[in-house]
Structure 1
């Protein structure tokens, strides 16, 4: 199976309090995006494309190995993945879409996603159980329901897909639509998605506290 990795790295670093794209923020002296690319490769993905902001292309080129392909991303995550997917060669059997903001994803998670795809799953996402009570609220903040925790999961990346499944999902997605992740894209097209175990170490870096936790994890 020939798998290609797409890393979504065109987002800003505003919530992180950074003066640069989040993917270029340093973790233990290396940009987050470099960690994410390394995780994909260690998990068994040899070819990687990174969706980057147009005006930061040179900075990303300097932060990544020369054989990583750079693609100009869009105004949203969905637009960035769509642009990168268009650059994936047809010979690829599978595509894994990963967030640069999950720099410490263990290679075992990537390997589990690849194994599920190799076994015939059309779409795969790594997940973790929800341990806190979760509620829904109305526009005024009043609790309206408390879903059964046993049926809930936290979704991580990389999310893996048979290439033709992901391409078909994006082909059916209206231009300008912005979904929360790529599993939502293929589910909207009628594709079932299977889950594999994720890992707490694959936590997303969104705010400064998250980065501090990642720094502590690296120093262990």
Structure 2
């Protein structure tokens, strides 16, 4: 790309080795990974979507996103730190970095925009969150010992947003910055549709979501 990239989303499968296979599970005729990337590409505020994957699944991931858009690149790498090195020279000094779980294929574009906007407004790190709905218990030796006050608890989602400086700092602490390294982050409202599609039940929900046409249309 000739112009400097102002915003980039990295799509990763850094959680578990099994996620690589799950990302290639078919939902309504297309693999989850393709749904994820198409959702991000439908957000015009994003200049570039970079799909990364370890060498062991590079060919299948590359094939899944081949030809989608000139705003999409596949960059193989064993870690996000390695992939970032290949993209960093094209970034503007004030670029916004998003890190998105490949299995959160149906994250609404409004959530992506909220993360981007909050970083642009001065936040260093931003995470979409949802209120905790279930009753939470603490246990000891298999016995319930107390009910945890859930008023301050939230479930975290992606994309995680970073300023360029904050992302570089995160990479010094972890080769694959994720939800386990966002203490002190600002939050924006998450969405139930942004679930990780990692179980048979969640796959059924995803099929129903696509079949029902409830996905947010690109603007």
Q: What residue in structure 2 maps to residue 163 of structure 1?
A: 164
Q: Could you say if the C-alpha distance between residues 56 and 172 of structure 1 is closer, same or farther in structure 2, counting changes exceeding 3 Å?
A: closer
User: What CA distance in whole angstroms lies between the structure 1 residues aligned with 2:165 and 2:116?
Assistant: 16
Q: Which moved more, 1:124-133 or 1:38-47?
A: 38-47
Q: Deviations over 1:126-165 (max 9, x none)?
A: 0111111112223x22224332111010101111000211
Q: What residue in structure 1 maps to residue 75 of structure 2?
A: 71
Q: What residue in structure 1 maps to residue 102 of structure 2?
A: 100
1:35 touches 1:103 (CA, 8 Å); kept in 2?
A: yes
1:84-163 maps to which residues of 2 (within 5 A)? 84-90=83-89, 91-92=91-92, 93-138=95-140, 140-163=141-164
Gaps of 5+ in 2: 213-219
Deviation at residue 186 of structure 1 after TM alignment = 4.7
Q: Could you say if the C-alpha distance between residues 137 and 207 of structure 1 is closer, same or farther in structure 2, counting changes exceeding 3 Å?
A: same
Q: What residue in structure 2 maps to residue 214 of structure 1?
A: 206
Q: What residue in structure 2 maps to residue 26 of structure 1?
A: 26
Q: Could you say if the C-alpha distance between residues 102 and 214 of structure 1 is closer, same or farther in structure 2, counting changes exceeding 3 Å?
A: same
Q: What residue in structure 2 maps to residue 4 of structure 1?
A: 8
CA-atom RMSD in angstroms:
2.2
The alignment partner of 2:114 has SS state of helix
Q: Greater strand percent: which structure?
A: 2
Deviation at residue 65 of structure 1 after TM alignment = 3.7
Q: Could you say if the C-alpha distance between residues 136 and 29 of structure 1 is closer, same or farther in structure 2, counting changes exceeding 3 Å?
A: same
2:156 touches 2:179 (CA, 8 Å); kept in 1?
A: no
Deviation at residue 83 of structure 1 after TM alignment = 2.8
Say how many residue pairs are matched.
Answer: 200
User: What CA distance in whole angstroms lies between the structure 2 residues aligned with 1:172 and 1:218?
Assistant: 38
Deviation at residue 41 of structure 1 after TM alignment = 1.9
User: What CA distance in whole angstroms lies between the structure 2 residues aligned with 1:70 and 1:145?
Assistant: 47
User: What CA distance in whole angstroms lies between the structure 2 residues aligned with 1:108 and 1:115?
Assistant: 10
The alignment partner of 2:162 has SS state of strand
TM-score, structure 2 normalization: 0.82
TM-score, structure 1 normalization: 0.82
Residue in structure 1 matching 2:195, options 197, 200, 203: 203
Deviation at residue 84 of structure 1 after TM alignment = 2.6
